[in-house]
Structure 1
Amino acid sequence: MTDAVLAGTWVVDLRRRTSFSRGHLPGTVSMEYGTQFATYVGWLVPWEDELVLLCDDPEDLGSALRDLAAIGMDGPRTHLLDVATPLPATYRRADWAAFRDEVAQAPVAPVVVDVRQRDEHDQEHLPGSLNLPVQDVDLRGADLPPGELWVHCRSGYRAGIAASILHRMGRRVVHVDDAWERVAELAIPTTTGGVAA
């Protein structure tokens, strides 16, 4: 599996995003298996690139292969994770309450990356956040400012994908895995208009 990562292959981990953040193989990308899985793989992984699916559940692997075949992506390699496989790479997950509390204490505002689509960001976003839609993260993530990146979307799914791609690039990330509606509930300030990354 390490050889596939080193060769630049897209190694996509299907496990839950909570499991991925707690431990994964370096260089892998998190795309939690579920109803959105095939849509995001088909959208984000270049069709000419080799794809490897990685999971600890054979049933999810089989379902993922069927879903990808339905959109015309046949033949990805698969790898079933053994329970003894070391998963040394990790990053933080946080909710909006943790974000609010840490920002209040921080001497410098964190770099916030909003990976929703441009119209979602323009409608309402955190002041100073950078809009880098999830489909552009692999291409433009290297252009983000230095420092720890707090990555969010509307529900946490897209942010999980984006955080894993940025982590693969060597960035320190915090995956904000929480619903956008919680921002209003916690009285976190927002604004409108756009700031692209």
Structure 2
Amino acid sequence: NHGVRPAPRPRPSPGQPTARTSPAVADPEEIAARLAAGEWVVDLRSRIAFAEGHVAGSFNFEADGKLATCLAWMIPWGKPVILLAESSEQLAAAQRELARVGIDRPAGASTGGPAAWLRDGEGPSSFPRATFAQSAVQGTDGVVVLDVRRDSERAGGWMDGSVHIPIHEVHRRLGEVPDGTVWVHCAGGMRAGIAASLLDAAGRRVVAVDDGFDAAAEAGLTVVADRTGPAGRTDDQ
């Protein structure tokens, strides 16, 4: 008696996408059309490369960061997504990671860089990156400081006068960010890069603070703390 044989795994129907299916190649016209339709175009390159030049309206979720966690946390369920990667290897690795959280059927993808993703006559968008020391020199006139860390992290200390919207709520609360140039920070730079891309896509003037939060006090900025609250762990890189 060899026991009961396990039931075979169901095979996908012909043409049915799987986690390993290569998504259709998205050319510049399709990328523009997807953006116009309100779909998510996700640029997987580093936050440094994205800030230097990207397709206007696209969002930056670094392939080398916490891609699956962050994107699954933020993208509306069922929202079509186009993936932009610097290489086929980066794209394949991102697909494998995203498949684990149920984002296994990208509507399209393209590799290369902004030159391959923009229509003729279009130029890339960009925004500056800065440190807390540069923020201290900048001053506060016309500046909004946006903190996108978790509640528990902020309880350990925050910049005086800053606005707090946790990263996973930024997309649906963009209208709550006051007017002015937004200097957005987190604990180390990764989440600030995501938030900066969301704000940039919404047409806001933004500066991504790519720095560790400990540097804020060292730069002479006023950091206050809730001594009764928990000092939260850092979920950043």
Give the alignment's TM-score, normalised by structure 1. 0.91
Residues in 2 aligned to 1:35 and 1:8: alpha-carbon distance in whole angstroms: 24
Q: Which has the higher helix share?
A: 1
Larger gyration radius, structure 1 or structure 2: 2
Long gaps (5+) in structure 2:
1-30, 230-237
Partner residue, 2:183:
150
- 2:97 corresponds to which of 67, 88, 111: 67
- 1:25 corresponds to which of 39, 43, 55: 55
% identity of equivalent residues:
38
Residues in 1 aligned to 2:41 and 2:202: alpha-carbon distance in whole angstroms: 14
1:96: how far off?
1.1
Partner residue, 2:79:
49
Partner residue, 1:81:
112
Task: Give per-residue Cα distances to partners, 1:56-115, cap 9 Å, x unaligned.
Answer: 211110000000112222111211135733551111110111111112xx5x26210000
Tell me if 1:92 matches 2:128. yes
Give the alignment's TM-score, normalised by structure 2. 0.76
Partner residue, 1:39:
69
Tell me if 1:10 matches 2:64. no
Residues in 2 aligned to 1:81 and 1:142: alpha-carbon distance in whole angstroms: 33
Task: Give per-residue Cα distances to partners, 1:11-45, cap 9 Å, x unaligned.
Answer: 00000101101100010001111241111111111
Partner residue, 2:192:
159
**What SS does structure 2 have at the residue aligned with 1:146?**
coil
Residues in 2 aligned to 1:163 and 1:96: alpha-carbon distance in whole angstroms: 15
Partner residue, 2:170:
137
Long gaps (5+) in structure 1:
none
Q: Assess, with a 3 A threshold, how the Cα gap between structure 1 residues 68 and 110 changes in structure 2: closer, same or farther.
A: same
**4+ aligned runs moved over 6 Å, structure 1:** none
CA contact (8 A) 1:142 1:169 kept: no
Residues in 2 aligned to 1:83 and 1:124: alpha-carbon distance in whole angstroms: 38
1:186: how far off?
2.4
Task: Give per-residue Cα distances to partners, 1:161-194, cap 9 Å, x unaligned.
Answer: 0010011111000000111121233232201249
State the superposition RMSD in angstroms: 1.7
CA contact (8 A) 1:9 1:49 kept: yes
What is the identity, as a one-letter code, of the residue corresponding to 1:112?
Answer: V
Residues in 2 aligned to 1:171 and 1:118: alpha-carbon distance in whole angstroms: 24
Residues in 2 aligned to 1:83 and 1:192: alpha-carbon distance in whole angstroms: 42
Partner residue, 1:190:
223
